[in-house]
Chain A
Amino acid sequence: MAEYITHEHDVVIIGAGGAGLRAAVEASAAGARVAVITKSLLGKAHTVMAEGGVAAAMGNVDDRDSWRVHFADTMRGGQYLNNWRMAELHAKEAPDRVRELEAWGALFDRTSDGRILQRNFGGHRYPRLAHVGDRTGLEMIRTLQDHGIHLGLDVFMEYTIVKLLTHGDRIAGAFGYDRERGRFHLFRGKAVVLATGGIGRAYKITSNSWEYSGDGHALAYHAGASLVDMEFVQFHPTGMIWPPSVRGILVTEGVRGEGGVLRNRNNERFMFKDIPPLYVNQTADSEEEGWRYTQGDKNARRPPELLTRDHVARCIRTEVREGRGSPHGGVFLDIAWTKEKLPNAAEHIKKKLPSMYHQFKQLADIDITQEPMEVGPTTHYMMGGVRVNADSQMSEVPGLFAAGECAAGLHGANRLGGNSLSDLLVFGQRAGEYAAGFAKENSLGAIDTQELASAEKWALRAFEHNGSENPYGVQHKLQDTMQDLVGIVRQEQEMQQALERIRELRTASDAVGVDGNREYNSGWHTALDLYNLLTVSEIVTRAALERKESRGAHFRDDFPAKDDQAGKFNIVARKGPNGEVQLTREPIPPMREDLQRTIEEMK
């Protein structure tokens, strides 16, 4: 085994976003020796891009808020497919997790009496998102990073894990390469935590970076863990659409939270036309009432622009389809109109949404304080992921944990904005605690050298092919396939076609060749990522075929209605004995009675 550089730790954490760092802080506080591995540099993970805020029922702005309301909102948003125990823990623990960040140096925007300010967001009944302008994620990741660097963590920057190693049925470590030199490394760990984020790179139009190739999902799946809710991919309603090169870049929901409205080319507030029954009681009747809500009037109900993301995204798609879209195939998002209401609107917008202001100014030559933006749906977030125990975050593979976007359960069929940053904190903390606990009770698992040798051979095969297929080309084809055939609106035939293409692309990916050597070779990295992207794309498609109804983020043209029977199970994917995807429908365990009552009371 001498060929591989070997590292030994109690807990190996794959991912240095909010979830990974929070887990690292916790595991290290519990006395574990911790490795943190990240594909990028420290502080560059997706978490840094989060804008709007972190949801926690602190009740600083509206004291009617409580964990119960947050719990009920999360379940309603997830259309009751959520793991209710996770939703409960999340709602209860998020406030402490946010306050603790302040003790580590985070500085949130304040209320006039000096407490943490909270803002409105889609699907949240009361103002609940702690935030720092529109750069909340930056504040969060920097706080965790700057706290973490003093804890003696071993951080491996620009390392990519390509395989998880098991011993018997339990986890033994992880195998990967460093980008700089292309050398292989073996990470032995008593426990391993996946915190790798999402899968957005499987789609063409996305707010996600190159890192989101579904690595954690695929690694866990191939190591024998189950994935759940994989049909639920969130399309955020407002991505930039013009100019073409910025297509997909996110426009935070905070714009709507601050009073921004959606209009079609006829200047109509089309969101008033279609309000789902679950939300009728909570939605404003008039534009005036909606405005008052955004300005903090406690008696007003939320404007329909702040309905859940799945619904808003589909309404936008309908407007465009029916010919009422904006010039570049989206709709208008207008915050400039608030100048009719506020004397200092332009200043207010720049203060509340500074990075949106700059983003549009610099990338699209648009001054959002003066003109409307053009927006359309963009692939944003993966609700599905590794199936974990709600309390410990351990997967079905003993010693393998998962937290953050790559884990599933909290969000069900649709995630509420702001519930991801809180998810990272709550379940990152839990994963760190339980992983450290597991490491105390277990020793290092043995490593199978054969397995390493074959993993290495597999990883290097692209260098042996003489450029028959271009890795970027295959990736683009896959992105087109998922975008066109397994997107916001789905149907049987198209998805069958997608499976066919995925099969072809898998063959193509086996023939991908790369030039150059192993040092910082982007082509090689793209070739390796393809394997994970194809794995998750296939599972997303199969799960979406299996769910023959429309619910949350999953909408079927051929089954446009919600089906009560289908609301009783989650779809779980496992790797079968012959490497095939096996799907099962697993009943959702009955909800504890007190939680049921809570939901009834909040209706």
Chain B
Amino acid sequence: MATATFRIWRGEKGQGKFQDYTTEVSTGMVVLDAVHQIQAEHAGDLAVRWNCKAGKCGSCSAEINGMPKLMCMTRLNSLPLDQPVTVEPMKAFPHMRDLVTDVSWNYKVKQRIPKFQPRKPDAEDGTWRIAPEDVERVQEFRKCIECYLCQDVCHVLRDHQMHEQFIGPRFLVFAAALEMHPLDVGDRVEELRKQFGIGLCNITKCCTKVCPEGITITDNAIIPLKELVVDRYFDPLSKLFRVFSHTKA
């Protein structure tokens, strides 16, 4: 049987080194399979997160040959196996151990975003009527599996470490899902501008490129939110209009 070499980052709290492991590979294998095999054969204490093994839970994020990816959805036949495959933890978050990083910052950010606020129910029985098209408009954002690969690749977080000032693409998608939710009457525009740092995004689109769910983060979520902010703060006419209208964008 064929074998391949995996160059895996081993260590704790940012200290560590790459270690090479050679293991058998077979048809259809993904990187996570290889990591599990290595765990069972050579490195019992190798730390790695995973759950669904089907691209649904967003647990197994890592950098494979330098690219932010889900290990469970990266087929070995998409990688050159004549050279070692490097597998490293994400870089935008504090390192814990081996392939595992501390992503708790993301959970704290989410808590800061004003929650869903529905309009009054449409029907007597407390339910709403929503047109299928209105649901469809936001479904794209709701596909997010919270893998945080987009956060990992965004230079504002990764290189400039501006975690205090910027919520990152994942949470701009989240804010967009709320802002465009057909029932939501909340308003997050001021926070977007002041606390969430939407202005720090300079539309490099790196986030969109790595999203395993194919969410068009920049064009469909961030740019419309930026427009909302611009309309609110820099366009007096629309500001006036808002006073008279209860519908939101």
Contact = CB atoms under 8 A, between A and B. Distances in A.
Contact of A522 (B48, B110, B129, B178): B48
Interface in B3-52: 12, 26-30, 33, 39-40, 44-52
Nearest to B36: A472
Contacts of B44: 470-472, 514-516, 521-523, 526
A114 interface: yes
Contact of A133 (B28, B46, B126, B139): B139
Interface string A225-265: 00000000000000000111110011000000000000000
B132 A109 contact: yes
Interface string A140-161: 0010001101100001010000
Interface in B77-129: 96-98, 100, 102-104, 107, 110-111, 115-116, 118, 121, 126-129
Interface residues of B, number: 60
Contacts of B51: 40, 44-46, 48-49, 209-211
A515 B138 contact: no
Interface stretch (A2-10, A98-106, A167-175): A98-106
Interface stretch (B142-150, B203-211, B216-224, B225-233): B142-150
A269 interface: no
Interface in A32-62: 40-46, 48-49
A114 B115 contact: no
Given A44-B51, A142-B142, A359-B55, A102 B128 contact: yes
A253 to B, nearest CB: 16
Interface of B (DSSP majority class):
loop
B52 A524 contact: no
Nearest to B127: A99
Contact of A363 (B30, B59, B102, B132): B30
B73 A363 contact: yes
A40 B54 contact: no
A364 B73 CA distance: 11
A520 B59 CA distance: 15
Given A245-B33, A472-B40, A48 B139 contact: no
B75 A363 contact: yes
A516 B45 contact: yes
A43 B55 CA distance: 14
Contacts of A514: 44-45
Interface centre among A250, A473, A522 (most CB of B within 10 A): A522
Interface of B: 12, 26-30, 33, 39-40, 44-59, 73, 75, 96-98, 100, 102-104, 107, 110-111, 115-116, 118, 121, 126-132, 135, 138-139, 142-143, 145-146, 178, 181-184
Q: Please list the 9 inter-chain residue pairs (A to B) with the smallest Cβ-Cβ separation, ordered nearest first.
A: A243-B28, A523-B44, A516-B45, A114-B129, A105-B116, A472-B40, A520-B47, A520-B97, A209-B51
16 contacts: A40-B51, A40-B59, A43-B57, A43-B58, A105-B118, A110-B132, A114-B132, A139-B142, A146-B110, A243-B26, A243-B29, A246-B28, A249-B53, A249-B54, A250-B54, A363-B54
